[in-house]
Amino acid sequence: FAAARAGGLRITVHAGEWGGAYQVRRSLALDPERIAHGPGAIDDPELCAELIERGVSLDLCPTSNWQAGIVPSVAEHPLARLARAGVAVTLSTDDTTVSDIALSEEYVNAVATIGLTIPELWAIDRRALDVAFADEDDVAPLRASFTAWGETVPELAAR
C-alpha cells in the first residue's frame, strides 16, 4: 500500500505474517513508514532496534495473527512486548470480514488478554494518529480532541 503526501510517498508494506523477523527485515529495503503485521520482529533485537531507529511502525492485528497461526494464542501476541521495547506499534483488526472482530473488541483483548495497561493502549492509539495516511490539517484536530479526552481519564491524566 502507498499513499501520496506532500513531500513524497508514504509506504506501508504488508509483510511479516509469515517468515518471521526475516520477512520483516526484507521489507525494510522498500523504506516503509509502516509494516502491516510483523509480530515476528520481537524475535530479533537488532531488527527491533532498527525499526525504532528508522521510526517504522508495525500495524499489529493480534486476533488475525492468531487465526493465521502466526502466534500460538492472542495472549502470547508480542504487541505489549514490542511496545514496551520501544517499537512503534498500532493496533488493528485486519480484515473484519475474515477475522470477525471489531476494533473495540481488539482493545479489550489488548488489555484483558495481552496485558497492556490503559496508558499503554492510549499511547498506541496516539501513535496511530501520527502515522495515519492523512493530511496534517485533518489529523491535527483529531489529535487535539484525543489529547483533551485523555486529560479527562484519571489513568491518563496522572501521566
* Catalytic center residues: 17
Cβ atoms of 116 and 110 within 8 Å: the answer is yes
- How many C-beta neighbours within 10 Å does residue 126 have? 14
- In whole angstroms, what is the distance from residue 53 CA to residue 58 CA? 13
Number of other CB atoms surrounding residue 129 within 10 Å: 16
**Residue 63 and residue 146: Cα distance in Å, rounded?**
25
